[in-house]
Structure 1
Amino acid sequence: MKQRTDFIAIGELAARTGVAVSAIRFYEAKGLLDALRTGGGQRRFLRADIRRVSFILIAQQMGLSLEEIAAELARLPAGRTPNAADWTRISTGLRARIDAQIAALTRTRGLLDQCIGCGCLSLKKCGLYNAQDKAAQRGAGPRYVLGDRAGDIAEVG
C-alpha cells in the first residue's frame, strides 16, 4: 500500500514541474494523469507524476500531440512513468517523422525558385517545367513539393 508521503497535492505538482494547476487539471481531463481523491475531494498525485508531467512537456516540445502522448503513456503499465527504454522507442518513431518533414522542407526549399507543379507561380514557366500539365496525371496539388519529380511524370500523348 502506498504511504501518505508517496502522494502530493496538485499545488505541489504544479510547483515542482512549473506547470499551472489548470494545465495539470487539463492533462488529467485528457487522460494523461490520474489523480486520486481525498475524502474531501482534493486531488492527490503520485510523486512519480512529477516525471510524468516532465515527460509530457518534453514530448510536446519534441512535436508530439497530446493524443500521441496519451497513446504512448497508455502503452505503459498502469501508473508507470516512461523510462529510458520507453523514450528510445518513442524518439525513434519521432526521428522518422522529423526526417520526413526535413525531406519535404528540403524539396520545397529547392523548388522555391522553380515551378512547383501546380501552375500557381508562372504560366510561362510552367509551360517549360510542366508542359501540358503533366504533373496533374499524378493527382491534385503541388506534385513536385509532394515528392514527385518532373522526370517521373510521363509525357501526355
Structure 2
Amino acid sequence: MPRKHTGLLTIGEVAARTGLAVSAIRYYDDEGLVAARRSAGGKRMFLRSDIRRLSFILIAQQLGFSLEEIRAQLRQLPLERTPTKRDWEQISQGFRAHLDARIGMLERLRDRLNGCIGCGCLSLETCQLYNPDDRAAASGTGPRLVLQKSVAR
C-alpha cells in the first residue's frame, strides 16, 4: 500500500507499478532521470509522478532512444515538483519531432529495402535505374535513399 501519510512510494512499490527492476530504478535515480527523496532511514522514496517519468524512460528506450536523448527530453521537466499536463505537452512536442523523423526513416526503409537504397553497391538491376553511376553518393555516405528524406533521382 502507498504511504498515505507522506504521499511517497517506496522503490518496491514503484517497481511493482512500472514493471522495472529495483536496480534499474536505482540506476535511473543515480543518473538523475528521477529524483528520489530519502526517508529518515535513508530509503529511496518516490513521488507518484515518478511512475510516469519512469514509464516514459521505458517506452523511449524500447523505441531505440539512448539515455542521453531521453535525458535531454526529461531536462524540460521539473524535478522539484510534479510535472503538470502543460509540462508533458512541452516534452511531447520535442519528442514528437524525433519520432516523426524515425517514422519517416522506417517508412523509407520499408518501401525501398527490396530495391535500391542508394548505398553505392549497384548490385541490383533497380540500382541502375534509381542510382545510375552511384549518383546518390554526392549526397553523402551510406544508404542515402533511406537516410535522406528526399534524394533527386
What is the TM-score of this pair, normalised by structure 1? 0.70
Extract unaligned runs of 5+ from structure 2.
none
Q: Which residue of 1 aligns with 2:56?
A: 58
Does 2:46 match 1:43?
Answer: no
Q: Which has the larger radius of gyration?
A: 1
Paired residues in the alignment total: 146
Using a 3 Å threshold, how does the CA distance of structure 1 residues 119 and 52 change in structure 2: closer, same or farther?
same
Report 1:51-90 matches (<5 A): 51-62=49-60, 63=63, 64-90=65-91
Q: Tell me the amino acid that sits aligned with residue 149 of structure 1.
A: V
- The answer to whether the Cα contact below 8 Å between 2:36 and 2:45 also exists between their aligned partners in 1 is yes
After the TM superposition, which parts of structure 1 deviate over 6 Å for at least 4 consecutive aligned residues? none
Task: Give the whole-Å Cα distance in 1 for the aligned partners of 2:132 and 2:19.
Answer: 57
Deviates further, 21-30 or 67-76: 67-76
- Residues 40-85 of structure 1: CA deviation (Å, up to 9, x unaligned): 4x31424xx2221322213431445433443444334442122211
Does 2:123 match 1:122?
Answer: yes
Helix, strand or coil at the partner of 2:6: helix
Q: CA RMSD in A?
A: 3.0
Residue 126 of structure 1, CA deviation? 2.7
Using a 3 Å threshold, how does the CA distance of structure 1 residues 99 and 36 change in structure 2: closer, same or farther?
closer
- The answer to whether the Cα contact below 8 Å between 2:115 and 2:124 also exists between their aligned partners in 1 is no
Using a 3 Å threshold, how does the CA distance of structure 1 residues 58 and 119 change in structure 2: closer, same or farther?
same
Q: Which residue of 2 aligns with 1:155?
A: none
Does 2:107 match 1:106?
Answer: yes
What is the TM-score of this pair, normalised by structure 2? 0.71
Using a 3 Å threshold, how does the CA distance of structure 1 residues 102 and 78 change in structure 2: closer, same or farther?
closer
